[in-house]
Amino acid sequence: MERTVITSSTVVNSVVEKLRAALARGQWRSGDMLPGQRELAEQLGISRPSLREAVIVLETLGLVRSMPGKGVVVLEASLSDSQSHDRAVAGASLEDVLQLRYTLEPFIVGLVAQSISSKEVGQLRLTLMDMREALEANDSEAGVNAYIAFHEELFTLTSNPIFQSVVQQTSNALKQSAEVLRNSPEHLAERLEENEAVVRAIRSKNSAQASAEMRRHILREGQRMGIELNIPDDNLGS
């Protein structure tokens, strides 16, 4: 898609081209958020106003959309071929992400169970109620959103910044796999039930139980997606 880019600045032009090439290469996929303005501007070695201009151009080209207060989201691109092979190199499969979740999330909920306040438990239960309502209303999209929100809340509750990078990754992955999560409404009921078991254990401050429930949930999640996880035979590190 060649269109005239209306801009005076060569800096902006070259940045647009770089970003376009990156998008074409599948560096970011539809639904991904671009790195924050500040970060991206720094990486590209340009000023933020220039970056903003470049983003406006990309938006005009229909490649991205700015979401005020949220960031810049990559749209479904009509760019083909060159995408696939680079992806396989840099990419992560659903299985990789489940493996990551299985490794970390039981630990995360264990931590949360040790330190959670009753107000925070209330928040988790509210999110589960959203999930239940979605289930009753047969609104699978709302169900998936509540599921992702629940997942993000758990990470936030650790209040340890080292987990923030991983929650970003796994949330993106969950959003990407939302289609998989969505086409199985009957699974939403199971998912809810499993998450309720996690929250019950957290609520009674039972770390070991919370970890065990989360482990069970992720294993079941794998089964629902037809993925068999590589699980240690012993319980090393649990």
Which residues make up the interface to other proteins (CB under 8 A)?
Answer: 18, 21-22, 25-29, 31-32, 35, 39, 42-45, 86-88, 90-94, 96-97, 99-100, 103-104, 107, 111, 158, 160-163, 165-166, 168-170, 172-173, 175-177, 230, 232, 236-237
What whole-number distance in Å separates Cα of residue 24 and Cα of residue 58? Answer: 12
Q: Would you give the distance in Å from CA 201 to the centre of its chain?
A: 25
- With 0-12 / 13-18 / 19 or more C-beta atoms within 10 angstroms meaning exposed / middle / buried, residue 180 is middle
Q: How far is the CB of 82 from other proteins (least distance, A)?
A: 12
Q: How far is the CB of 6 from other proteins (least distance, A)?
A: 24
**How much helix, strand and coil, in percent to the nearest 5, is found in the chain?**
70, 5, 30
Judged by beta carbon, residue 35 or residue 185, the one nearer other proteins is 35
Q: How far is the CB of 133 from other proteins (least distance, A)?
A: 28
What whole-number distance in Å separates Cα of residue 218 and Cα of residue 169? Answer: 16
Judged by beta carbon, residue 99 or residue 140, the one nearer other proteins is 99
Provide CB contacts within 8 A for 43, sequence distance 6+.
35
Q: How far is the CB of 156 from other proteins (least distance, A)?
A: 14
Judged by beta carbon, residue 20 or residue 187, the one nearer other proteins is 20
Contact between 202 and 158 under an 8 Å Cβ cutoff? The reply is: no
Judged by beta carbon, residue 112 or residue 134, the one nearer other proteins is 112
